[in-house]
Chains A and B, each alone.
Chain A
Amino acid sequence: MLRYLLVVLAGVIAGVGLAFSLLDLSLTGNFAIEAAAETGLFDSKATNGQQLLRSSQSVTSDRSAALDSSSVTEPEFDLVRLKEVESDVRARFQMDLQSMVSVENAILIDKLARVSPPAALAFLNEQSIFGNTYREMVLANWATRNIDSFVDYVLDGNSPQIPIESLLYQPNIKNARRYAELVSELDSEHTPVDEIVSYSSLSPVQKIEKLSSLSLQTRNHAYFDLTNTLPIEQLDLLVKKIGEIENKIEYSRRLGSIISNRLSRFPEKALAFAKQYGDGGSPEMNAAMRVFQETDHPQSLSRLKQHVDEGGDATMIRNYFVNISNFSLDRAIALASMLEDDHRTTAFRGVAVYHLRRQPDEALEFILSQTEKDQSVVDAYIGEMVIQNPDAANELLATGPPEDIGRALVFNIAESRWYGDKSAAIKFAESHGYNDFEDEMEEKSRLRREEIAAWKARAKGI
Chain B
Amino acid sequence: MKSSICFLVGLVLGAVLVIYISKPKVSDASDHSKILDIGLSEAGNQHLSTVAGSGEDETGSSHVPSELDMEHDFAGSTDELITTARNQLVYKRNGLHTLKGIYLLDQLAKKSPSDAMHVLNEMGDYTAFFRSLVEERWFEQDIDGYIEYCKLHMTDCTLEQLLAIPGIENATLYPRLVQELGDSFDSVRRAKEFRSLPLEAKLQEIHTLTPERRIGMFNELILSVPLDNLDTVLSAFLNSETTKPRQDLVTRVITFRFSESPEGALEIARRYAPDDETVTLKVMEVFARSLHPEALEKLQTWGYNTGDFGLLGRHIGVVARNNLDRALELADTLPDVQRDRAYQNLASSYVSKRPDQALEHFRSLGAGDQGAIAGFAHTLVRNHPKRAEQLLKENLTEAVRVALVVKMAEKMIGRDKAQAIRFLESHGYAEIAQEWSGN
Contacts and interface: CB of A to CB of B under 8 A. Distances in A.
Interface of A: 3-4, 7-20, 22-23, 33-34, 37-38, 40, 42, 45-47, 90, 95-103, 106-107, 110, 125-126, 128-130, 132-133, 136-137, 140-141, 157-158, 160, 163-164, 185-187, 190-191, 203-205, 217, 227-229, 231-237, 249, 261-262, 264-269, 272-273, 276, 294-297, 323-324, 326-329, 358-362
Given A126-B257, A136-B97, A362-B183, 19 more contacts: A7-B6, A11-B10, A12-B11, A14-B7, A18-B15, A19-B14, A98-B132, A106-B99, A107-B68, A137-B97, A185-B353, A187-B354, A233-B50, A265-B153, A269-B38, A276-B45, A296-B151, A359-B184, A360-B183
Nearest to A96: B224
Given A227-B124, A231-B91, A233-B48, A157 B3 contact: no
Instruction: State the 6 A-B residue pairs at the shortest beta-carbon distance, nearest first.
Output: A11-B10, A15-B14, A228-B124, A19-B18, A12-B14, A37-B69
A92 B102 CA distance: 18
23 contacts: A4-B2, A14-B10, A19-B15, A97-B220, A97-B223, A98-B132, A100-B224, A101-B129, A103-B102, A107-B99, A128-B224, A128-B257, A130-B129, A157-B291, A185-B353, A190-B354, A232-B48, A236-B48, A261-B125, A272-B46, A296-B154, A326-B158, A328-B180
Interface in B4-46: 6-19, 22, 35-36, 38, 42, 44-46
Given A133-B130, A231-B122, A234-B51, A110 B68 contact: yes
A101 B129 CA distance: 7
Given A269-B38, A272-B46, A358-B181, A326 B154 contact: yes
Interface centre among A14, A15, A261, A268 (most CB of B within 10 A): A15
Nearest to A234: B50
A340 B277 CA distance: 52
Nearest to A129: B256
Contact of B3 (A4, A136, A164): A4
A186 B353 contact: yes
A175 to B, nearest CB: 18
B415 to A, nearest CB: 8
B129 A95 contact: no
B56 A133 contact: no
Contact of A42 (B51, B71, B256): B71
A299 to B, nearest CB: 10
Interface of B: 2-3, 6-19, 22, 35-36, 38, 42, 44-51, 54-56, 66, 68-73, 90-91, 93-94, 97-99, 102-103, 106, 121-122, 124-126, 129-130, 132-133, 136, 150-155, 158-159, 176, 180-184, 220, 222-227, 256-257, 259-261, 289-291, 318-319, 321-324, 352-356, 383, 415
Contacts of B124: 227-229, 261-262
A4 B9 CA distance: 11
Given A97-B224, A103-B103, A294 B159 contact: no
Nearest to A8: B10
Contacts of A190: 352-356
Nearest to B41: A268
Nearest to B264: A126
A229 B50 contact: no
A21 to B, nearest CB: 10
Contacts of A136: 94, 97
B7 A11 contact: yes
A12 B260 CA distance: 67
B6 A327 contact: no
B292 to A, nearest CB: 10
A15 B18 contact: yes
B227 to A, nearest CB: 5
Contact of A130 (B90, B223, B227): B223
Most buried by B among A11, A90, A125: A11
A146 B28 CA distance: 32
B180 A11 contact: no
B132 A101 contact: yes
A37 B66 contact: yes
A400 to B, nearest CB: 25
A164 B48 contact: no
Contacts of A295: 152-154
Contacts of A327: 150-151, 154, 159, 180
A141 B11 contact: no
B391 to A, nearest CB: 15
A403 B121 CA distance: 50
Contacts of B71: 37, 42, 45-47
Q: Which of the listed residues B8, B124, B261, B355 has the most CB atoms from chain A within 10 Å of its own CB? A: B124
Given A160-B291, A266-B38, A272-B45, A133 B129 contact: yes
Contacts of A359: 182-184
